[in-house]
């Protein structure tokens, strides 16, 4: 389900359409699960929307080794942070995504390494830490697919990027059979995984609450009968029963059956055959199951992104119908949605073209290499005001990344430790000269420099410090 909030008078959610202010109903319920069949693994999702008769969108094949420029939803709508201040990264992995908003804004998908992510409507509390980069929640999902191969990798970097958007929580899974549900509570990621996630099923409810109710039912430790019902917790229970009953059925067909039996008003249904590198999907406009295979060569950067209108009719195997990404089509898709939420004076077509332009791919010249000499300021609170301290950072790479840092009045030529550079994120620690106390730095690369924050052991209760650095010639 997709919901709406407003920022600067503009709608943040795009999909609730006529029902944005209504509470969650069975007609808006989405489902994500994984199904294991011996050595074979399937990732499965349905997008449900009872308030509209169809959901338009596209299937994308996204290339690896491509520079991306990150944006918050606020910046996409209002033009904020458009001067090169957003997180930038180069995709390590190609991916297949399904999107109702166009390129870079997936509702979910899977990358070539076998990492899967999808959203379900829920009520998050995203971080407001101003020292973190902010990504629109759909682009944040693309960021995960671009940069990580496993669930543990996603979890490791969850607290390094803030999100904005509307009400979702997320399920991630990988080809090793691991899975996790990611919620955001009080600005912090809360992860349910491992033994706490005995059934890899996520809907629009709190997982622990759903599991508590499941244990009261037959087959899961209780004596209550399980019936097909479409309210939120009962449909989770019914879905768990269907998953438990999987034996020797055709796995792809059975995955679609589970989605159909768990919910009403399903608009999109998607099944990834992880082992064979195939995607299957159907929409309510064309009940026939379509599919396509993807191989490493499909994600070569020279090919650029490929797209397929998800509602276009066609043969069962649609791989030959993918075409090069069409910016005009992409902008028209965005405009068709924005029209529902902008005031009458807004030029929706101009905004849609602007958003499409902002997320276009960059080049190697888009961002400076982290290696080199950086200079700038660290802004710290001082007696009710702010004080700028000059800061110098030198990074070298001789096999591994090393460096030194100097901060006015704090440290001089201090050696960096615990250096990590991943997915456009840069972090390290440095010791104060007298006390030996460690200061941790959480930075991120932008098109025009390095930004981020610094703090002590207790990061959440640290005194705020903001860093802005530019590379010296």
Regarding whether 240 and 94 lie in a shared domain, the answer is yes
| Neighbour-count burial for 413-422, b at 16+ CB within 10 Å, e otherwise | ebebeeeebe
Backbone angles phi, psi at 306, to 5 degrees: -115, 155
The arithmetic mean of pLDDT across residues 200-214, rounded, is 95
The share of the chain scoring above pLDDT 90, in percent, equals: 73
Say if 1 falls within a structural domain: no
Residue 26's pLDDT band (cuts 50, 70, 90): very low
DSSP string, 205-244: S-HHHHHHHHTTBTTTTS-BPP----SHHHHHHHHHHHHH
pLDDT 10s digits, 363-405: 776 777 999 999 999 999 888 889 999 999 999 999 899 999 9
Smallest Cα–Cα separation from 96: which of 63, 121, 68?
A: 63
For residue 6, is pLDDT > 70? no
Residue 8's pLDDT band (cuts 50, 70, 90): very low
Range of the domain at 463: 367-471
Regarding whether 95 and 39 lie in a shared domain, the answer is yes
Regarding whether 318 and 439 lie in a shared domain, the answer is no
Query: DSSP assignment, residue 313?
Result: -
Regarding whether 431 and 293 lie in a shared domain, the answer is no
Regarding whether 112 and 29 lie in a shared domain, the answer is yes
Say if 35 falls within a structural domain: yes
The arithmetic mean of pLDDT across residues 353-364, rounded, is 85
Say if 429 falls within a structural domain: yes
* Domain end call among 358, 385, 408: 358
Mean pLDDT is highest, among 45-54, 322-331, 353-362, 380-389, for 322-331
The answer to whether the CB of 293 falls within 8 A of the CB of 275 is: no
* Domain end call among 315, 341, 358: 358
Residue 28's pLDDT band (cuts 50, 70, 90): low
Out of 7-16, 89-98, 116-125, 414-423, which region has the weakest mean confidence (pLDDT)? Answer: 7-16
**Cβ-based neighbours of 426, under 8 Å, separated by 6 or more:** 370, 419, 420, 441, 443, 444, 445, 450, 452
pLDDT for residue 45: 98
Regarding whether 135 and 59 lie in a shared domain, the answer is yes
pLDDT 10s digits, 73-101: 888 887 554 445 799 999 999 999 999 99
Other Cβ atoms less than 10 A from the Cβ of 323: the count is: 11
The arithmetic mean of pLDDT across residues 279-304, rounded, is 94
The arithmetic mean of pLDDT across residues 432-446, rounded, is 93
**Cβ-based neighbours of 157, under 8 Å, separated by 6 or more:** 148, 422, 423, 425
Higher per-residue pLDDT: 368 or 210:
210
pLDDT for residue 20: 30
* Domain end call among 332, 358, 384: 358
Say if 185 falls within a structural domain: yes
For residue 295, is pLDDT > 70? yes
Say if 234 falls within a structural domain: yes
pLDDT for residue 16: 39
Regarding whether 304 and 172 lie in a shared domain, the answer is yes
Say if 233 falls within a structural domain: yes
pTM for the structure as a whole:
0.92
Regarding whether 261 and 113 lie in a shared domain, the answer is yes
Give the number of domains in the chain.
2
- What average pLDDT does the chain have? 89
For residue 346, is pLDDT > 80? no
Regarding whether 181 and 68 lie in a shared domain, the answer is yes
The arithmetic mean of pLDDT across residues 13-29, rounded, is 39
The share of the chain scoring above pLDDT 70, in percent, equals: 90
Per the listing, tokens 């930038």 go with 88
pLDDT for residue 150: 98
Regarding whether 172 and 48 lie in a shared domain, the answer is yes
Regarding whether 251 and 160 lie in a shared domain, the answer is yes
Say if 450 falls within a structural domain: yes
Q: Can you tell me the distance from the alpha carbon of 265 to that of 53, in angstroms, rounded to the nearest whole number? A: 8
The enclosing domain of 265 has a CATH number of 3.60.60.10
The enclosing domain of 419 has a CATH number of 2.40.128.20
CA distances from 197 to 34, 170, 314 (A): 12, 13, 38
Regarding whether 161 and 90 lie in a shared domain, the answer is yes
Say if 171 falls within a structural domain: yes
For residue 413, is pLDDT > 60? yes
């Amino acid at each position: 389900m997709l919901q709406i909030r407003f920022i600067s008078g503009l709608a943040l959610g795009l999909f609730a359409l006529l029902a944005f202010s209504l509470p969650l109903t069975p007609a808006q319920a989405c489902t994500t699960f994984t199904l294991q069949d011996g050595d074979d693994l399937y990732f499965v999702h349905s997008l449900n929307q009872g308030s509209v008769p169809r959901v338009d969108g596209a299937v994308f094949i996204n290339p690896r080794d491509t520079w991306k420029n990150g944006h918050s939803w606020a910046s996409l709508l209002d033009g904020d942070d458009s001067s090169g201040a957003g997180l930038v990264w180069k995709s390590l992995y190609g991916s297949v995504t399904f999107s109702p908003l166009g390129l870079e804004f997936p509702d979910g998908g899977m990358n070539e390494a076998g990492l899967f992510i999808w959203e379900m409507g829920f009520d998050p509390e995203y971080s407001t830490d101003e020292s973190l980069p902010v990504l629109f929640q759909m682009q944040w999902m693309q960021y995960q697919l671009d940069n990580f191969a496993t669930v543990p990798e996603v979890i490791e970097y969850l607290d390094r990027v803030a999100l904005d958007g509307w009400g979702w929580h997320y399920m991630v899974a990988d080809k090793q059979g691991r899975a996790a549900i990611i919620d955001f509570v009080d600005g912090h990621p809360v992860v349910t995984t491992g033994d706490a996630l005995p059934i890899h099923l996520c809907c629009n409810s709190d997982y622990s609450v759903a599991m508590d109710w499941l244990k009261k039912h037959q087959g899961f430790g209780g004596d209550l009968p399980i019936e097909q019902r479409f309210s939120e917790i009962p449909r989770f229970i019914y879905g768990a029963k269907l998953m438990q009953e999987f034996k020797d059925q055709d796995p792809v067909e059975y995955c679609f059956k589970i989605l159909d039996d768990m919910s009403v008003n399903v608009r999109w249904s998607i099944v990834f055959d992880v082992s064979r590198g195939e995607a299957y999907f159907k929409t309510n406009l064309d009940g026939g199951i379509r599919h396509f295979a993807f191989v490493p060569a499909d994600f070569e950067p020279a090919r650029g992104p490929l797209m397929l209108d998800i509602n276009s009719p066609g043969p069962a195997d649609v791989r030959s119908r993918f075409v090069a990404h069409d910016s005009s089509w992409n902008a028209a898709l965005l405009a068709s949605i924005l029209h529902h939420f902008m005031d009458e004076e807004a030029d929706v077509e101009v905004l849609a073209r602007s958003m499409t332009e902002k997320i276009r791919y960059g080049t190697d010249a888009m961002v400076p290499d982290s290696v080199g000499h950086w200079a700038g300021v660290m802004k710290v609170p001082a007696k009710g005001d702010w004080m700028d301290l000059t800061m110098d950072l030198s990074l070298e790479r001789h096999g591994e990344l090393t460096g030194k840092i100097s901060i006015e009045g704090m440290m001089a030529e201090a050696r960096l430790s615990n250096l990590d550079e991943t997915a456009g994120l840069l972090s390290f620690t440095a010791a104060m000269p007298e006390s030996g106390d460690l200061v941790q730095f959480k930075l991120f690369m932008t098109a025009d420099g390095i930004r981020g924050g610094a703090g002590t052991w207790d990061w959440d209760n640290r005194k705020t410090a903001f860093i802005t650095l530019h590379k010296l010639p």
